Amino acid sequence: MDLEAQIISLEKSLLTIEVRKSKTELLERIAPGFKEIGASGSYFGLDSILERLPTEQSWSAKVQDFEFRQINPEFCQLVFRAYIKSHEADSGTYSHRSSFWQKFEDGWKVIFHQGTKVEPFELQP
């Protein structure tokens, strides 16, 4: 698997309820110094992620339009669009998202993520 496909696969795995419910799985993919600026404007780190994500009951995401950029052999960026529903009654949020990934001894991990709320866009089937 080439690096672009690997990073896209890792990003998609972070959007699955199975990985989000497992602190072990999250720690395999998220760096210790991780920071995020959510689409809501909230700023938080790994501790908040490990506390909040495993408690989610109904969460889903559709992602598309990936753009990959390798900055150097140990650092890359992934930009994409997402439609996220945090629970069944939620009408969903459309966003542009960006993740920075770094290579560690035990593999690639996300070190920063930002979501920016945008107007609805056409979802791919």
Domains of the chain with bracketed CATH = 3-117 (3.10.450.50)
- Each of the 125 residues of the chain gets a pLDDT tens digit; together they read 899 999 999 999 999 999 999 999 999 999 999 999 998 899 999 999 999 999 988 888 999 999 999 999 999 999 999 999 987 767 899 999 999 999 999 999 999 999 999 999 999 98
Spell out a b/e string for 24-41, using b for 16 or more CB atoms within 10 Å of the CB, else e. Answer: ebbeebbbeebbbebbee
Which tokens belong to 42?
A: 């909230």
Single-letter amino acid code for the residue at 43: Y
Taking alpha carbons only, the member of 121, 82, 124 closest to residue 99 is 82
